[in-house]
Amino acid sequence: MRYSQFLSFEWKQFKRSSSFQKGIGIKIVLLLAALYFIAAFTGLGLVAYYLIQKSFPQLDPIVVVNNYLIFWFLLDLTYRFFLQQLPVMNIKPFMLVPVKRSTIIHYLLVKTSWSFFNWLPLFFFIPFAIILLVEAYPLIQVMGWLVAMILFTLSLNYLNFLINKNNTYFYGLVSLIFGFAALRYFNIYDITVLAGEFFNKMYSLWYAFLIPLLLLVLLYRRNYAFVRKSFYLDDAIRKEKKLVKTQEFSFLNRFGKMAPFLKNDLKLILRNARPKQVLFMSFLFLFYGLIFYTQETYSDSPAFLVFASVFITGGFLLSYGQLVPSWDSEYYKLLMSQNIPYRQYLESKWYLMLVAVIISFILATPYIYFGWDIYAMIAAGAIFNIGLNSFITLFGGALNRVPVELNVKAKAFGNTQGFNPTQLLIALPKMLGPMLIFYIPYKLINFNAGLLVLALSGLIGLMLKSFFLNKIESIYQKGKYKTIAAFNEKK
């Protein structure tokens, strides 16, 4: 079977799926965002040489770029980990027909090379290389360096595949990064110096591109072996035996008709791997303020402190809430076939986020150490999360029709399954909204006025709870059957 046939099958699957029916507006916004980043990276590539030359006239711009490439690639790997959707393909039908497994696996891996995340860095490296040639740098060295950068970018693509699919690679890489960071922090050894020397060698020795080429081949082969290992039909249908403990959560009965939904959510979180990871991630959000409150840089920019304050109490809301109703995708059809009002389902999710914000606010009490102004900012952020961000999150769920597998051992910590670019767009008002609401009265009046307006906006949203839930319920109702159909699609 040729690759063109695979492409034909996937195009038909995409065209017939519910994702093809999503709003054209979202697609236009995503296209505009892609064009913006392409323009930004291209512009940076064209002016980087001259900016460095102006700022550091005593240094060679290519040397400066090479010295900081390690941070570029770490940042590249980070946003890939959270944003890049790994290739998926319905392989079960091909397991039953005479198609070589190697052909399917090679197609799946080669498909990752066409990701937007592999093309985006090229819009910086290629213009920068062109400027180097214009400035009379040796052609063979510039081309060798450019090829090496392309190969490193592709290597990150396959490394991201491994760390997303295997905990061993993920924890090993994280331990290595934290180890190097600790060595630098305690002035034992600065790994960035060695990295700078390495990338400078990549430029001075044109044939050094063979090193990233070898790395790319090794990572490709490792990915191939990893996928082939589990490429069996019986691996997909094998049952796993578990010891299940029952929990009643009778204390939730006081919530009346919403109690069954709340109990179901708590059991889902406590019994499944993916929700546990998200719960742990939301706990880590409590320490987010340490990044901002300990830096004098942000003391004159309180809008950024508001950004941190919203994150401190909104960890669970932002991480767990953004995947409503995907958490229930495995039994969503059964849930929707019951004689229950949609309103109760949504309100139970809202109360779960409300309790999480309150608990986070209580756990954030030690931030009083940084002053009462900071703690008041956290309180205002908590009120905003309850009164507005919670409803924005539920609204975003109506646009999220990507199913989530609750127990996927092959996935590493920070599993991004269920994430899609639409959620990123919905996240923007949740992150930038409170900053803007605070900043305008802060700039026009004073700091306290900004906090007061931020808190009042949350209180107003809380007073309009019924109105918001009614509107959100109608949106969920309209897309109910599209959501059910999307959750039934097997990747």
> Per-residue pLDDT tens for 165-192?
766 766 777 777 777 777 777 777 777 7
| Spatial distance between the Cα atoms of 372 and 369, rounded to a whole number of angstroms | 8
Q: Determine the pLDDT at residue 190.
A: 75
| Spatial distance between the Cα atoms of 80 and 116, rounded to a whole number of angstroms | 10
Counting as low any pLDDT under 50, the low residues of the chain are: 236-241, 243-244, 409-416, 418, 491
Which residue from 311, 327, 285, 284 is spatially nearest to 430, judged by alpha carbons?
311
DSSP-assigned letter for residue 416: -
Q: Determine the pLDDT at residue 193.
A: 81
pTM across the whole model: 0.58
> Per-residue pLDDT tens for 251-310?
676 667 677 777 777 887 777 767 777 777 778 788 878 878 877 777 777 888 888 888
AA identity, residue 272? N
> Per-residue pLDDT tens for 38-96?
999 999 999 999 999 988 888 899 998 998 888 888 888 877 776 676 655 555 666 66
> What SS3 class is residue 296?
helix
Average pLDDT, the chain: 79
Q: Determine the pLDDT at residue 115.
A: 81
Q: Determine the pLDDT at residue 236.
A: 45
Q: Determine the pLDDT at residue 416.
A: 46
Which residue from 440, 342, 437 is spatially nearest to 397, judged by alpha carbons?
342
What string of DSSP letters covers 168-221?
HHHHHHHHHHHHHHHHHHTTS--HHHHHHHHHHHHHHSGGGGHHHHHHHHHHHH
Q: Determine the pLDDT at residue 116.
A: 83
| Beta-strand runs (E) in 11-169 | none
| Spatial distance between the Cα atoms of 152 and 159, rounded to a whole number of angstroms | 10
